[in-house]
Amino acid sequence: MLSISSPGVHFGDDTLTADRPARALARHVNEFGADLVARRPDRFGLSAVLPLPDIDGALAELTYAGDQLHADAIALATHYHGRYLSDPAFAPVLSELDTRGAVVTLHPKSPPGWEHTALGHPRPMIEFLFDTTRCVTDLALSGALSRYPRIRWIVPHAGAVLPAVAHRIAAMTVLSGKPVDVPGLLSGLYYDLAGVPLPIALDALLGVVEADHLLYGSDFPFTPAEAVTHLAGELKAAPALHNARLDLSPHSAGAALFPRLRSACT
């Protein structure tokens, strides 16, 4: 599934300029991806990028990607210039995604203030994981996951830190007097297994979600090919995944979310 990772396509406030470079870049990369899919529909799918936080541009590109390019999914970042997806400004985009029953592939970005929190370490080491956790937690606690139930979210990196903190978050909502069934909400999302799901993270994830909500993920090319191959072998041999279907076979998460790919590969 081809997608644009961090930092996305929007590199500043272009709302006062005429050319809207983020819109042009989003259109370019989406058409490039759609061309690859057209040439090899059995091998590739497209998760189209949007020029957020440009709301009007994002809605226009969402329509184009869905109706003209027939994108398989939409790629969203955890935040856009410090504004997370639960920000009310993004409600029109989430509403349109919900109307379309869209698949959303989520990917983290460096959080605001990373210069201080990363402590000099590579940001993908832990900053990305905590930013995914922050984003999905806020989607749950803000009610966005419930307001837009037809969006099918794919959370990256085996759920990041979410499985370890889900019950703590839920307990805190009870203490606040506004209980939220966070583990229940998380059980309805999908999760890719990119990153380092073994030997620990996968077991934690399976504590909050069934194996039929798991998908294979590689993070290639940011993860080198040798590491991708090694992880694929480990996943294939993992006892916890003995009955899981990480391909496009019937009743798999991949087949449910990406029926076009299922048809193209049979």
What are 127-181's pLDDT values in tens digits? 999 999 999 999 999 999 999 999 999 999 999 999 999 999 999 999 999 999 9
- In-domain check, residue 5: no
pLDDT tens, position by position, 175-231 = 999 999 999 999 999 999 999 999 999 999 999 999 999 999 999 999 999 999 999
What's residue 243's pLDDT? Answer: 86
What's residue 16's pLDDT? Answer: 56
CATH value at residue 71: 3.20.20.140
DSSP the chain: -B---TT-S--S--TTSSS-HHHHHHHHHHHHHHHHHHH-TTT--BEEE--TT-HHHHHHHHHHHHHTS--SEEEEESEETTEETTSGGGHHHHHHHHHHT-EEEEE--PPTTHHHHSTTS-HHHHHHHHHHHHHHHHHHHTTHHHHSTT-EEEESGGGTTHHHHHHHHHHHHHHTT----HHHHHHTSEEE--S--TTTHHHHHTTTS-GGGEE----TTTS-HHHHHHHHHHHHH-GGGTT---SSSTTSHHHHH-HHHHHHT-
- In-domain check, residue 15: no
Structural domain that includes position 123: 39-264
Give the chain's largest Cα–Cα span: 56
- In-domain check, residue 232: yes
CA separation, residue 254 to residues 5, 29, 108, 126, 217 (Å): 20, 23, 21, 27, 11
- In-domain check, residue 1: no
Per-residue pLDDT, averaged over 46-62, amounts to 96
Q: What is the pTM of this model?
A: 0.94
What's residue 18's pLDDT? Answer: 59
pLDDT tier, 93 (very low <50, low <70, confident <90, very high otherwise): very high
- In-domain check, residue 24: no
- In-domain check, residue 135: yes
Is a pLDDT exceeding 60 seen at residue 256?
yes
Total domain count, the chain:
1
Is a pLDDT exceeding 90 seen at residue 17?
no
What's residue 165's pLDDT? Answer: 97
CA separation, residue 262 to residues 43, 60, 106, 154 (Å): 10, 28, 21, 18
Between the ranges 16-30, 67-81, 108-122, 235-249, where is the mean pLDDT highest? 67-81
